[in-house]
Copies of this chain bind each other. A is one copy, B any other.
Amino acid sequence: MTGGAVTAAKAGVVGGGVIGGGWAARFLLHGWNVTVFDPDPDVQQQLQAVLDHARLALPALADTPMPAEGTLRFAKSLGEAVDGASWVQESVPEDLSLKHRVLAGIDSQATASAIIGSSTSGFRPGELQHITEGPVRILVAHPFNPVYILPLVEVVGGDALYRETLERACTVLTSIGMKPVVVRNEIDAHIADRLLESVWREALWLINDDIATTEEIDDVIRYGFGLRWAQMGLFDTYRLAGGEAGMAHFIQQFGPALQWPWSKLTDVPALTEALVQKIAAQSDAQSGHLSVRELERIRDRNLVGMLRSLKERNWGAGALLNEHDRRLAARLTGPAALDADSNGALRLLDICVLPGWIDYNGHMTEYRYTQVFSDASDRLLQMLGMDAEYVASGRSYYTAETHVMHLGEAAVDQALYASSQVLLADTKRLHVFYRLCTAEDDRLLATGESMYLHVDRASGRVCAASDKIVANAGALAAAHANLPRPATAGRRVGERKTE
């Protein structure tokens, strides 16, 4: 399938609830034209709400232009929805006879080459495919809410489906940003919902027996193992628990717990040597190319990144970290400790170069330097008194211009710090010089020079900052006036170094 054909394609979406609406949004935002059929009179309004959410979320995940959004239409009949569609997705309620009726209708009216996906979370393809004649083209494509964000889709073809159809389905799903996991042996509820159902049953027992509330159960997940699972899942996480001794060791060590009457759900497979070795071999194939130390570093880096993003959103474990910051800050006597770096300037930010920051030259890419200096400026402004409340009051500093000089290269995982020297501060302007250095040996990698203007956000006009900020900035500028003026401050692009 060519790129052109994908973007010009039409998807028929049958059932326009939360799941069907999510499918519609994902197709639309990838340039497909979508026609939805759902007899519910509220379908347009519901789908609009899903689409509003999706437009804010899916493009925010891309760093490259998305295709132009496709056209959304609502059909008056099933036939109209599937007419000319190269993909038809069924998302009607989980009722087998209803699914049979709808899928038979789709199959009889869809174009010969169309693929028909069912969003069923529980039924096997074998339970759905027998209703059609001719070559089988119905498969399970089970997505996860919110469909427009979560990439997972379980694809179950069953024995009756041609491999070529399965591959074509995966190509289409990949083209709209999904991660097809092909379930090789069809079972009730596929894979994910088996796991979800087991937790759900145990959770119901915990509530039934008054051990925990819904909130306590959510807390143990979102402050604990949920964070691990979001980036490594179950087995890679336990691989780390096994340590250098490896996966077989871990299973043998923790295996006896299977025999303990912990759970109300105690039917367990016999932990034979063969099963232990099978799991260990699969785990080695999955992650044996990484040492436990490397995997631990990756896990920690992922956790820090996710926690920091939750912190920015002040939610869950991130909200807890914000509270903890306030506790730590309350402990400090007076304003934030003004650490001096080797130049006597203000050390603002300690970072580690992330893998996603590396460009094709193998070094930290250009714009990440500006990002680091910009993050440092946020710290500086905070320190001077520009907090969220101040910004909400309609005032802020805007960056007028920035000059960055690259003097060295930063490699992945390298520890760096940014420091600042205030060159000038008056009521409206703040002129700051930054240095980015290696933490290990204070080697200077880059300098930044920025001019910030204090503005009234509503009018966009430059205006005076609050007395408190002006006083703080002035004090800092006065202290920094004793430092030598940086050699490259005031430099023009292309100026010779000897000038």
Contact = CB atoms under 8 A, between A and B. Distances in A.
B229 A226 contact: yes
What copy number does this chain have within its complex?
A: 2
A308 interface: yes
B224 A192 contact: yes
A212 interface: yes
Contact of A302 (B315, B330, B337): B315
Contact of A367 (B299, B303, B370): B370
User: Which one of A210, A282, A365, A403 has the highest number of Cβ atoms from chain B below 10 Å of its Cβ?
Assistant: A403
A231 to B, nearest CB: 5
Nearest to A177: B324
A498 interface: no
A324 B409 contact: no
Nearest to A7: B331
Interface string A269-299: 1010001001100110110000001001111
A279 B299 CA distance: 34
A189 B321 CA distance: 27
Closest A-B pairs by Cβ, 3 of them: A218-B233, A305-B309, A265-B265
Contacts of A210: 185
A356 B319 CA distance: 9
A405 interface: yes
Interface stretch (A59-67, A77-85, A99-107): A59-67
B309 A308 contact: yes
A282 B494 contact: no
Interface stretch (A347-355, A464-472, A477-485): A347-355
A233 B229 contact: no
Contact of A214 (B185, B199, B282): B282
A197 interface: yes
A428 interface: no
A39 interface: no
A112 interface: no
Given A152-B219, A212-B191, A354-B63, A269 B311 contact: no
Contacts of A330: 3
A194 B198 contact: no
A309 B195 CA distance: 26
Interface in A193-225: 193-225
A251 to B, nearest CB: 9
B240 A230 contact: no
A357 B235 contact: no
A240 B149 CA distance: 15
B261 A188 contact: yes
Given A224-B150, A230-B226, A201 B398 contact: no
Interface in A12-67: 18, 49, 53, 56-57, 59-67
